[in-house]
């Protein structure tokens, strides 16, 4: 089962005993259905739990008869799409009127009189998410969207989400394939919205996934940093060894000062040492900068011998 279906299943398992909150919940479900008019009320879902919940909640609140049909897929008769509708047009008109909508209105908008107070708002958004919302698995991507049929309704949804106490950032709307998509890609915004509408498990799943991703990214950055440093150290050591080879083949090793000769021999014996290791291994230990200065002097001598930069 997908992350989105799991989230909806959890939401559908929660009882709503307060009448005002139930009213807001059902209003969110019918308003954001694919069809909500005096002549038709219906929506389609792949989530069986949502289909059953919609049917039960709408029927219990409005008294309308709700019907559910399922379209089977070809893969072994597995359940596919559930279509939930109010088959009787008189019932459709009854539900439409029940929530204070008029067929004379220019466009479908949120009727805020159905959301009695701030405590009812999470339930309204829960209903909207159940019928037109989707959320991607946080292990794959951070993306949450509401697919809305009407432009003004989508704009209203953007506004009402932004007005909530969580005030999520990055809520946007775009037209796609004839629908209006209200979406956010921010992990914090998605988690906040899910927590706000009551999907606590999904809320913590997103936070956990974000922590894991952060740890993984930090580990990758550290690995890349270490690899870059290792390559840099190996390149520098190879250059130093080449300089010492030139000095040795020219018979000039014995003519080096004692401090340069000791460092040259040490570098040949331990090509894997970094500057700190070399400095600590000398008879008289010196700092990294001191080692670097002496190695630079060896490279300069080799360049003078060969007549070109090492």
Asked if residue 164 lies in contact with residue 121, where contact means CB atoms within 8 angstroms, the answer is yes
d(CA 229, CA 216): 20
- Beta partners for 84? 43, 68
d(CA 253, CA 278): 18
**Length in residues, the chain:** 310
What pLDDT was estimated at residue 76? 53
Angle (CA) 281 282 284, round 5° = 125
- 259-285 pLDDT per residue, tens: 998 988 988 888 888 889 889 999 999
- 184-234 pLDDT per residue, tens: 998 899 999 999 999 999 988 888 887 777 777 777 777 777 787 778 877
d(CA 282, CA 275): 11
- 48-65 pLDDT per residue, tens: 999 999 999 999 999 999
Asked if residue 255 lies in contact with residue 301, where contact means CB atoms within 8 angstroms, the answer is no
- 285-301 pLDDT per residue, tens: 999 899 889 999 989 89
What pLDDT was estimated at residue 73? 64
Residues 6+ apart with CB under 8 A from 127: 24, 25, 26, 27, 28, 29, 30, 31, 32
What pLDDT was estimated at residue 74? 54
d(CA 45, CA 131): 7
By percentage, how much of the chain surpasses pLDDT 90?
58
From 246, 247, 240, select the one nearest 294 (Cα to Cα). 240
């Amino acid at each position: 089962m997908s992350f989105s279906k799991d989230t909806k299943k959890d939401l559908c398992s929660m009882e709503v005993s307060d009448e005002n909150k139930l009213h807001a919940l059902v209003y969110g479900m019918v308003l954001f259905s694919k069809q909500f008019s005096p002549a038709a009320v219906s929506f389609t879902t792949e989530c069986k739990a949502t289909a059953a919940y919609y049917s039960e909640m709408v029927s219990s609140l409005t008294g309308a008869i709700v019907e559910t049909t399922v379209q089977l897929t070809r893969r072994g008769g597995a359940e596919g799409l559930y279509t939930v509708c109010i088959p009787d047009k008189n019932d459709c008109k009854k539900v439409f009127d029940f929530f204070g909508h008029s067929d004379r209105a220019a466009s479908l908008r949120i009727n805020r009189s159905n959301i009695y107070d701030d405590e009812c708002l999470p339930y309204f958004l829960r209903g909207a998410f159940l019928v037109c919302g989707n959320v991607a698995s946080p292990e794959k991507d951070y993306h949450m969207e509401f697919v809305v049929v009407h432009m003004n309704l989508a704009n209203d949804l953007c506004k009402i989400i932004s007005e909530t106490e969580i005030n999520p950032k990055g809520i946007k709307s775009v037209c796609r394939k004839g629908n209006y998509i209200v979406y956010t890609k921010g992990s914090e915004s998605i988690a906040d919205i899910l927590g706000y509408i009551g999907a606590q498990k999904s809320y913590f799943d997103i936070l956990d996934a974000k922590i894991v991703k952060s740890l993984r990214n930090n580990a990758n950055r550290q690995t890349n940093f270490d690899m870059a440093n290792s390559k840099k150290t190996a390149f520098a050591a190879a250059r130093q060894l080449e300089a010492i080879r030139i000095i040795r083949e020219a018979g000039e090793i014995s003519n080096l000062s004692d401090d340069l000769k000791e460092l040259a021999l040490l570098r040949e014996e331990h090509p894997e040492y970094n500057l700190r290791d070399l400095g600590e291994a000398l008879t008289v230990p010196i700092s990294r900068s001191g080692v670097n200065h002496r190695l630079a002097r060896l490279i300069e001598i080799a360049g003078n011998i060969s007549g070109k930069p090492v």
